[in-house]
A and B are shown apart, each in its own frame.
Chain A
Amino acid sequence: SQKIEQNSEALNIQEGKTATLTCNYTNYSPAYLQWYRQDPGRGPVFLLLIRENEKEKRKERLKVTFDTTLKQSLFHITASQPADSATYLCALGTTAAGNKLTFGGGTRVLVKP
């Protein structure tokens, strides 16, 4: 069956360091992958999109890579700040109609000052 895995353990990191999150998938051929941020009691917020023919995308302090051979995406937050503390979700989409997304369970990040 299709599966999307994110590390369920929280990632504790010191301010200023780079946080790296992984998103692995099996039995899936995504056309694109997205990353979202979710704060407690709020809905997820869209951060980045990367398509299957792209290796890397950047947005400010965020960087995403997409390796369709390894079936993995890495999400990096450089120069992390306490305000980056949140849960980060990856989501995969295919070419099927409806722009439907399948989400991973998310990884909580805690940036300590």
Chain B
Amino acid sequence: DAGITQSPRHKVTETGTPVTLRCHQTENHRYMYWYRQDPGHGLRLIHYSYGVKDTDKGEVSDGYSVSRSKTEDFLLTLESATSSQTSVYFCAISESRQGDGYTFGSGTRLTVV
């Protein structure tokens, strides 16, 4: 996980509250991604970013928003948390060449009660 950190590592929140997860990188990589991992579904892309202020949706983006105001930080916000958003969230980074492997963070385990 060198060069990429996620915070917090664990969080319990109540239904209907906003939640922001942070991903910070020190590698100066162009691309950043947010995935969620659930049993039976594997890793699913929520949102990704290809540069400062440049973001796009992934396959499961409903209920989530992102922001990237600096190269090193990519924030994921759950506007109004629901129990279906209980999951493990992973941030990943990659350089800009097609096929470059991802470096993942250690994940954030989010529980919505």
- Residue numbers in A under 8 Å from B41 (CB-CB): 105
Selected from A36, A49, A100, A104, the residue in CB contact (under 8 A) with B45 is: A100
Selected from A31, A42, A46, A106, the residue in CB contact (under 8 A) with B101 is: A46
Q: Known: A43-B1, A44-B102, A45-B104. Is A97-B50 also a contact (CB below 8 A)?
A: yes
In the complex, which range does the number of interface residues on chain A fall in? 20 to 34
B53 to chain A, nearest CB (A): 15
Segment at the interface with A among B11-19, B67-75, B89-97:
B89-97
Inter-subunit contact A98/B104 (CB<8 Å): no
The proximity string for A residues 96-113 relative to B, scoring 1 for CB distances below 8 Å and 0 otherwise, is 011111111110000000
- Residue numbers in B under 8 Å from A31 (CB-CB): 98-99
User: How far apart sit A98 and B40, CA to CA, in the bound complex (Å)?
Assistant: 25
User: How far apart sit A91 and B44, CA to CA, in the bound complex (Å)?
Assistant: 11
User: How far apart sit A102 and B43, CA to CA, in the bound complex (Å)?
Assistant: 8
Q: Across the interface, name the chain A residue whose C-beta is closest to B91.
A: A43
Inter-subunit contact A89/B42 (CB<8 Å): yes
**8 A Cβ contacts from A58-105 to B:** 89, 91, 93, 95, 97-105
